[in-house]
Amino acid sequence: MISPELNFNLFTSDLSHYFKNQVKVGLFGSGVGLSVVLGFSAAYACYYLLSVAKKPILIAGGKKFHQFLRDKCPVVSETYYPTFWCWESRVQTLLRPFVTAKPWVNYRNELITAPDGGQISLDWFDNDDSASHPDQSTRPTVLLLPGLTGTSRESYILHMVQQSRDLGYRCVVFNNRGVSGEKLLTPRTYCAANTEDLEVVIEHVQRTIDKAPLMAAGVSMGGMMLANYLGRKGSEVRLKGVVVFSAGWDVFECTASLEKPLDRFLFNSYLTSCLQASVDRHRTVLEKKYDIDHVMKAKTIREFDERFTSIMFGYPSNDDYYRDASPIHKIKSVQVPMLCLNAADDVFSPNHAFPVEAVKQNPNVALLITCHGGHIGFLEGLWPRQSTYMDRVFHQFTSAVFENGSGLDDLH
């Protein structure tokens, strides 16, 4: 891989060649403009290399997990070089869906029935061409949980499926109720605090491929749901390992951050409209129990949760829901190896609410913090189309869990 330092040298060299050969007259022809451009480029490169590109911080509750990650996942010790022309948090967050490629994945869909009569959509990538694990009955499998309104077609999910395919593993994507085109059969959707559907999915997957090792990866709200599940179930969890990306650890702080003027304009209003669109698609089922017209007037995620989510899941107040949905309170109970990746500049999950102290008290949990990366961004390279820092963390940790999992035995 070409280093960012080399990219900058190539960039300035090409720029110099262009101006020398293409611009013959005027300011640039005199050499003054060229000197300004090259001077600015050099200053920007110095600022980038000194202040932007930094090694991540790895916090682990136990020495054994910490050493395992350093030995088997070198990415945790390497300098993260954000894409030099879009390293700012909001830019990374906004550009990720547009600049990263969407690899084609041929899923096999399965609808399973929940105890309340609702249906849950699972998208399987069986990877039957796996050379390293040709026996489908024992092929390592990764359960993937998308974000708030995400599905199996999100670019970050497709990238994880691609990484798994290259490793020879199988994937199954858990789509939350009503988001991936299937009908909503009961007046119930989903939330970060309620893990009942996730429990149904995990039990179903483990029954279906009972000899295959299983781990899970969750992104944003999917990561919150996964962490909440681990905290609630404790030693009952039979997953080999878990990796969580860009999770919101304290929902009160996350919501407050997204209500700041700029972030409300860029993110909050848009996500609220996405949630409302999902509700409106299933209006005929949901309006039997909820005031959908009132829900559709919500202007923020908080208002949406006050009018819909907290009521649907039976909380006395929205504050009770937010408290229960915050994984920070359940970190201490996690009993399987869990690696969490967050960017310190993520406006969805402010860094002052990261569960640093809770992680230090649990030998099963590690928190990897980059200075930049935004929310599910982690773009790197000159043109970040194929792979991100998040993809590399997923690739290395997943491989380490399945291929060197004995090193994670008895982390206490």
Query: What is the residue whose two structure tokens read 């090409």?
Result: 14
Three-state secondary-structure class, residue 182: coil
Name the helix (H) or strand (E) containing 211: none
The CA distance from 18 to 219, in Å, is: 43
Q: Is 66 annotated in the active site? A: no
Q: What is the dihedral of CA 264, 268, 273, 276, to 10 degrees?
A: -130
Q: Is 346 annotated in the active site? A: yes
Q: Which two tokens stand for residue 54?
A: 């930094």
CB 373 within 8 A of CB 57: no
Q: Is 130 annotated in the active site? A: no
* Catalytic, out of 220, 257, 310, 387: 220
* Catalytic, out of 197, 324, 346, 391: 346
The CA distance from 196 to 184, in Å, is: 16
CB 275 within 8 A of CB 149: yes
The CA distance from 102 to 263, in Å, is: 26
The CA distance from 216 to 222, in Å, is: 10
Checking 231-239 for CB contacts under 8 A at 24+ apart, the result is: 231/327, 231/329, 231/330, 231/331, 231/332, 231/333, 231/334, 232/195, 232/330, 232/333, 233/199, 234/333, 234/334, 234/335, 235/335, 237/335, 237/336, 238/206, 238/214, 239/143, 239/202, 239/214, 239/215, 239/336
Residue 110 — φ and ψ, nearest 5°? -135, 130
CB-CB neighbours of 295 under 10 Å? 22
* Catalytic, out of 133, 204, 372, 375: 375
**Cα–Cα separations (whole angstroms), residue 376 to 152, 222, 246:** 15, 12, 6
Residues annotated as catalytic (active site), given as ranges: 220, 346, 375
